Structure 1
């Protein structure tokens, strides 16, 4: 009988997305009551919306939370990696989504 808690500690690995990276939502995201000025249950992000990662934080010392600015909506919403796919990879490689983990050895200062 498990607690339904995710076992993987995501922050042991590098983030999947970096600030400035263009992303697309893979799921609808509704307000759970933590987004100010919106009703509980109101749509914050729709599947297919495109935006840019502005910042990276953590939650429960386990997960990365990506602050994504959704340009068409004029909002910034915290998103999990499983709710996003990179569009920068699509433009560079012509494939959908991120095929492998990011290699940080080529990025100075990281």
Structure 2
């Protein structure tokens, strides 16, 4: 049975973050039942929390899962790339900014 669309296979590209990289959570993360010792629905990470990538794994041979150590909380939580932003790397400017600067005198 064909689903009609191909899901992105993230592991075909290099990981977005590397171990030791400082990151910030871009979303609140609640326990979905996979974090031991915490209630389902309990907040594990709050948007804006800062931590460090400790390790990189995969899920379903499709996605990278980044084990992020949240120093202030004393926990390690598995996160997807879309839930994180790097604090060590400068973000690339958006394409709209690049197009706006094309053709201007410098």
So what's the TM-score if we normalise by structure 1?
A: 0.78
1:88 partnered with 2:88:
yes
User: Mind listing any 5+ residue stretches in structure 1 that lack a counterpart?
Assistant: 101-110
Report the equivalent of 1:38.
Answer: 38
Alignment correspondent of 1:58: 58
What SS does the corresponding residue of 2:40 show, helix, strand or coil?
coil
Is 1:99 the counterpart of 2:92? The answer is: yes
| Alignment size in residue pairs | 91
- Indicate the residue corresponding to 2:19 in structure 1: 19
Greater radius of gyration (CA): 2
Q: Counterparts of 1:48 and 1:13 in 2: how far apart (Å)?
A: 26
* CA distance 1:58–1:72, change in 2 (3 Å): same
Q: Call closer, same or farther: CA 1:42–1:6 in 2, change over 3 Å.
A: farther
State the partner residue of 1:104: none
4+ long deviations beyond 2 Å: none
Change (3 A) 1:6 1:44: farther
CA offset at residue 7 of structure 1?
1.1
Uncovered stretches (5+) of structure 2, i.e. residues with no partner: 94-106
